[in-house]
Structure 1
Amino acid sequence: MTHGAIRKARAGFVLLSVALLLLLVGPLTGDAQAATRCAGRKVDTLTFSTGSVHVYRSGGFLCAMTYAKHPGTTRSMSVSIQARGSRAVVKSGRAKKSMGPVRTLAGSRKVWIKGSVGGGKVSEGWIRYPR
């Protein structure tokens, strides 16, 4: 194999490695996932005056969604999840029924979960799942 062919193969390997690393690290950087709901097993429900936050676990990942207690009226909503040592993954805006999902790699780390619907909110942290 010539030096040119080795360089091209090495460059292809580096490019592939960087793409794979970005794919795996994406959930740790604060990017919300584009799915419409969380996958996995429901492990907790955090209730508050105007809604609730549902928490799901799938492998080492935790996912959260906020739901309005009385859906139908468009209002501000938010949901966030932060694994200790990582940045919070936040999704907020105006919705009628739900906000989210947000997903992060928690492993065995504690997480801080927040949610709000209109004027009501919950902030539950640092907890380890499963409890």
Structure 2
Amino acid sequence: MKALISLLLSCSVMLTAHASQSAEEQEGVPQVAYVTLAPALVGNFGEGARLKFFKADLSLRVTGKDNEDKVKHHEPLIRNQLVMLFSQQTEAAMAAPEARETLRVEALKQVQAVLTGEEGQPLVEDLLFNNLIIQ
């Protein structure tokens, strides 16, 4: 009976040590975060007599809490740059799926350029359209 209790205690100690080691390993790995630009970006675009509008829900992928905080700090400048980019687009650039991908890549480059200018590094790894509505 003492041998069984001793065996159970040693197994319990080993499992606890493994669980704490696993938690420590996870803390050392930077976590991916998505910074959602809220509220959605809204504006007009295109040329001609009739105004066209866009509404874009975006998320920015960053790694690490520090980078997430820096991106949130510069959110007003990022939002301004993106609104200016979207307002310069044509209807064709906003409507076609291939053109939307081109716009997404250009928007990512713009965000990275802003953050490189402010922080010395791009910080944002990817830009995702959660929703893009044109009217």
TM over 0.5: no
Q: TM-score scaled to structure 2, two decimals?
A: 0.31
Q: TM-score scaled to structure 1, two decimals?
A: 0.32
* Structure whose CA Rg is larger: 2
Higher helix share: 2
